[in-house]
Amino acid sequence: MEMKIRSKALERFTEATATLVNPEIHRWKKQGGKVIGYFCSYGPKEIITAAGLLPFRMRATGSTGTELADAYLNSINCSFCRHCFNLGLRGEYDFIDGAVWLNTCDHVRRTYDNWKRYVKTPFVHILSLPKKTGQPQVEWYRDEITIFKESLEKHFAVKITDERLWKAIRLHNQTRRLQRKLYDLRKREKPPITGAETMAVMVAGTAMPTAQYNELLEQLLHEIGDLKSGIHYRARLMIVGAILDDPAYVDVIEGQGGLVVTDMLCFGTKMMWKDVDEGASDPITALAQYYIAERPSCPRMFGDYPRRAGFVRDVIREFKVDGIIGERMLFCDNWTVEHFMMGKEFKAAGIPYLTLDREYLLAGVGQLRTRVQAFLETMGR
Amino acid sequence: MTGKELQRKRLQKFIQERDVLHAMVEAFTKSPTAEEKLYRMLTEVYVDHHNEIIRCVEEDKPFIASYFACAPEIYTAMNLPWYTFLTPAFTGAILEPVLEAEIDASEKLFGKDFCTILRIAGYYIEQDLAPIPTAIIALLHPCDGTTVLHQIIQTNEEWRNVPMFAADPPYWEDERSIDYYAGELKRMVSFLEEHTGHRLDMDRLQETIKESNKQYELWMEYNELRRAVPCPHGYGVGMQAFGVAESFIVGAPKGTEWFKVLLADAEKLVREGKGKVANERVRLLWFDVVSLGWSFDLFPWLEEEWGAVIVMDMFGYTPYTLIDTSTAGSMFKGLAKRALFDVPMVRQARGVADNFLSDIRRIVKDYKIDCVIWPGHMGHKDGAAAVGMMRETCREIGVPFLHIGLDLFDKRYTTLDEIKDRFSKFFTAMGLG
């Protein structure tokens, strides 16, 4: 990805995103730090941080094939999961000291089952994530987080006190606030940062020590806050979807003249649009409330489509979005239906909506360019 | 059109379905075999049930849409008629060209890789081909597809105002999970009482579950007989048993009678040493739904060509514990456990992969299985990702494993000839048959 801004902070973020085990992770490990991978944005990373461990959002950056994973998973399984599992089988995930899953979707939960059997990660845990967002589900997830906390404490011989947990919550909330500030800059008529660059910043936030990330992000905000951008664009776009961790994909879209100004992605607004309530009486309840009922939800959350659609409507207005690109990993049922519903709703409201199916690795760039180009033209841009 | 006229229009496919089932009843009536007499008994139930729904629509009486995995014992106890969105994909197999056209049309809405049976259900909703019920009890497991199907319903213009409840399924089966799900079922009952006006009487629930327990006891006894060599019955009967015990006549005396007839026939065959196939050479575990479409060609071919009998299938398996009916609490807990961990497909696919694997181990041992077939339906993404583990489990227990990769409802996905070829090569390579 070619950076349009000159920024040391952005360089560090880009580097952290471009490799799986980035220099920040190396430094952390060298200092004796331990790393816990987590496979979904619903994973309560605050618990990991409170344990003194580094939460690392698992990706398959750098993967080139799934030849090992395909002996266990299948061609009708999500390529993100296949690539991640393949990296695990190749030993590329030997740097993590533990991994935590949730039963997010059919592909992810079976990745857990396979990982547990065939990859030698010392600590492996899975949380039962509810499929609804009501109070009984918050209470259920509260118990699940507690079980996870106790499991982590036992394995790593640490004590996660409320005090440490509140500290971790405040730290991650700070990340969320800083990231929202970054997104605020993209509301401008001339945003100082592209969608691809923003993605690098967001992915990096899941791949380095949080305090260090926050410092770098503050630095970046300082560097670009007053920047008058020269980015020319034909249309302001929003990307809606799930696992998109590759700035190069966004680069291809933006190469056609569409500027991605916002998103609803797992490595995007879903991670940071709301804060965990720091005024709650109990930190674990605060976490459960945040993850189940507050943050923009995943399509696997039954009955929450109106809230998700409402979030997209609000964001369209705030960021003056001209059109939506919905990306979907092939074989993802959750996003098949989400794009069906959103496409219907937003097209009826006069918001152009393009659905793009993809595999995890960027391929078919020519076709992608053509489709985006045609989309922009149908928008009259 | 008035609301009533619209409902009648939506009933048309349902009425066609009823007529198809009625034709099947007539066909089975002409058959001399005891097995097909059993099919007739159950198909008559489906016809009656369809007529009941049609009557509810015409007389504006409450009825709901739901599923076998949502504790239907409660619906029987509440005397609440219900239907399921999933039937069209099954009965559509009788009129393949019509089904294929609907599959193709559904692809235009939802794409190719969404499970066919759910896609057709979604298509029926979007095209106004299903009667709008008083309320819906949605299913959120075993797969992603079931959850999102109900979100389609919730956003459809005509259906969005239909009250809908879904019990949230925990991922585990421990006491805590069972208590949690029992709580969800109680909330489901409150919802149904509020929206249908039907009340749940605990004595009636107790009666229903006691009858249901009898059905499970008989079913388990019957399944003991399927361990016999040769197996007394072939494909299809397991699905039929499931249809009786867990569908529209769950907990009804009619269902218990059906099981008695089934058991009597199986006992007779085992005493006489007779099997479904005169020369039984291969005993299969078909680890998925025995769909109607493949029942017309693939499964008979297996029996005739290879002497290969489906001794056990996913829906015919009965790892059930009987429900303690002594208190309301024990009944709700029992229903929760049954819904989470006993009913087929939900049992295996809902939670961790060990559920698939432990069933394979158990069934292979108990039923003297010669080979395990994972059909690999295109909608089973979780199962697809468990293929490696299933293969390894079979290797450990020394039984051949075949993964096909097909569509249980669309025969164009993998054709009959391709599947026959796979089976033939598999049996030959494994020295079976």
- Residue carrying structure tokens 């906390």: A149
Q: Which residues contact A367 (CB under 8 A, 6 or more apart)?
A: none
Closest of A327, A353, A345 to residue A264, by C-alpha: A327
Closest of A332, A339, A356 to residue A305, by C-alpha: A339
Can you give the pLDDT at residue A227? 84
CA distances A82 to A67, A298, A330, B405, Å, are 9, 21, 12, 18
User: Which fold would CATH assign to domain B3-196?
Assistant: Rossmann fold (3.40.50)
Under the phi-then-psi rule, with left for phi > 0, alpha for psi from -120 to 50, and beta for the rest, what region is B229?
beta
Residue A1 has pLDDT above 90, yes or no: no
Task: Mark which residues 325-354 of A lie under 8 Å from B by CB.
Answer: 330-334, 336-338, 340-341, 344-345
Q: Which residues contact A321 (CB under 8 A, 6 or more apart)?
A: A236, A237, A238, A261, A262, A315, A351
Helix (H) or strand (E) holding B365: helix B354-366
Can you give the pLDDT at residue B292? 85
CA distance B403 to chain A (A): 11
HSE-up (13 A, CA, CB side) for residue A158: 18
HSE-up (13 A, CA, CB side) for residue A144: 30
**Contact criterion met (CB below 8 Å) for B279 and B273:** no
Residue A78 has pLDDT above 60, yes or no: yes
pLDDT tens digits for range A244-259: 999 999 999 999 999 9
Closest of A114, A105, A144 to residue A127, by C-alpha: A144
What is the number of residues in chain A?
A: 381
Distance of alpha carbon A273 from alpha carbon B405, whole angstroms: 41
Are the Cβ atoms of B386 and A113 closer than 8 angstroms? Answer: yes
| Test mutation, A292, A336, A347, A355, chain B, max B CBs within 10 A | A336
**Contact criterion met (CB below 8 Å) for A287 and A46:** yes
Can you give the pLDDT at residue A54? 98
CA distance B79 to chain A (A): 27
Residue A232 has pLDDT above 90, yes or no: no
Distance of alpha carbon B66 from alpha carbon B57, whole angstroms: 16
CA atoms B210, B212, B215, B221: torsion sign: negative
State the Cα angle at A69 between A65 and A73, rounded to 5°: 125
Are the Cβ atoms of A302 and B385 closer than 8 angstroms? Answer: no
Q: Is B412 exposed, middle or buried (0-12, 13-18, 19+ CB in 10 A)?
A: exposed
Q: Which residues contact B241 (CB under 8 A, 6 or more apart)?
A: B219, B222, B259, B262, B316, B318
Among all residues of chain B, which has the CA nearest to that of A71? B388
Closest of B356, B145, B67 to residue A105, by C-alpha: B145
For residue A336, list its beta bridge partners.
none
Can you give the pLDDT at residue A376? 96
Can you give the pLDDT at residue A2? 55
Distance of alpha carbon A378 from alpha carbon A143, whole angstroms: 50
Least confident of A62-76, A221-235, B129-143: A221-235
Residue A3 has pLDDT above 60, yes or no: no
Query: Using a CB cutoff of 8 Å and minimum separation of 24, what contacts does A215-221 make?
Result: A216/A9, A216/A12, A216/A13, A217/A9, A217/A175, A217/A178, A217/A179, A217/A182, A218/A178, A219/A7, A219/A8, A219/A9, A220/A7, A220/A9, A220/A10, A220/A13, A220/A182, A221/A178, A221/A181, A221/A182, A221/A185
Q: Which residues of B touch A305 (CB under 8 A)?
A: 151, 154-155
| Mean pLDDT, rounded, of chain A | 96
First to last CA, chain A: 24
State the Cα angle at A242 between A274 and A45, rounded to 5°: 50
By Cβ distance, the residue of A131, A336, A341 closest to B111 is A336
The three state secondary structure string of A66-127 is CCCHHHCCCCCCCHHHHHHHHHHHHCCCCCCCEEEEECCCHHHHHHHHHHHHHCCCCEEEEE
Distance of alpha carbon A226 from alpha carbon A65, whole angstroms: 43
Least confident of A120-134, A165-179, A300-314, B246-260: B246-260
Closest of A133, A88, A71, A82 to residue A110, by C-alpha: A82
Is the CB of A162 inside 8 Å of chain B's CB atoms? no
CA distance B59 to chain A (A): 31
Which residue type, as a one-letter code, is found at position A366?
G
Q: Is B186 exposed, middle or buried (0-12, 13-18, 19+ CB in 10 A)?
A: middle
CB pairs under 8 A between A and B: 140
Are the Cβ atoms of A331 and B144 closer than 8 angstroms? Answer: no
Can you give the pLDDT at residue A292? 98
Ramachandran angles phi, psi of A356, nearest 5°: -120, 120
Here the tokens at position A224 are: 């670009």
For residue B77, list its beta bridge partners.
none
Are the Cβ atoms of A299 and B386 closer than 8 angstroms? Answer: no
- Spans of all domains in chain B: 3-196, 202-318+352-430
Residue A4 has pLDDT above 80, yes or no: no
Here the tokens at position A297 are: 């939800």
Average pLDDT over residues A231-247: 94
HSE-up (13 A, CA, CB side) for residue A50: 26
Residue A194 has pLDDT above 90, yes or no: yes
Q: Which residues of A touch B405 (CB under 8 A)?
A: 74
- Pairing verdict, β B164-166 and B282-286: unpaired
Average pLDDT over residues A77-93: 98
Q: Residue B330 CB: number of other CB atoms within 10 A?
A: 14
**Contact criterion met (CB below 8 Å) for A66 and A92:** no
- Pairing verdict, β B82-83 and A235-240: unpaired
Task: Mark which residues 25-84 of A lie under 8 Å from B by CB.
Answer: 71-74, 76-78, 81
State the Cα angle at B367 between B405 and B324, rounded to 5°: 100
Are the Cβ atoms of B385 and A143 closer than 8 angstroms? Answer: no
Can you give the pLDDT at residue B93? 82
Closest of A371, A251, A258, A269 to residue A315, by C-alpha: A269
Are the Cβ atoms of B113 and A76 closer than 8 angstroms? Answer: yes
Can you give the pLDDT at residue A287? 98
| Test mutation, A72, A112, A113, chain B, max B CBs within 10 A | A113
Can you give the pLDDT at residue B31? 82
Distance of alpha carbon A229 from alpha carbon A28, whole angstroms: 35
pLDDT grade for A330, boundaries at 50, 70 and 90 = very high
**Contact criterion met (CB below 8 Å) for A308 and A54:** no
Per-residue pLDDT of chain B (433 residues; tens, 9 = 90+): 888 888 888 999 999 999 989 998 998 888 878 888 888 988 999 999 999 999 999 999 999 999 999 999 999 999 999 999 888 888 888 888 889 999 999 999 999 999 999 999 999 999 999 999 999 999 999 999 999 999 999 999 999 999 999 999 999 989 999 999 999 999 999 999 999 999 999 999 999 999 999 999 999 999 999 999 999 999 988 888 999 999 888 999 999 999 999 999 999 999 999 999 989 999 999 999 998 889 999 999 999 999 999 999 999 998 888 999 999 999 999 999 999 999 999 999 999 999 999 999 999 999 999 999 999 999 999 999 999 999 999 999 999 999 999 999 999 999 999 999 999 999 999 999 8
Residue A344 has pLDDT above 60, yes or no: yes
CA distances A299 to A131, A341, B72, Å, are 9, 11, 27
What is the predicted ipTM? Answer: 0.95
Closest of B407, B352, B355 to residue B379, by C-alpha: B407
First to last CA, chain B: 60
Q: What is the SS3 assignment for B369?
A: coil
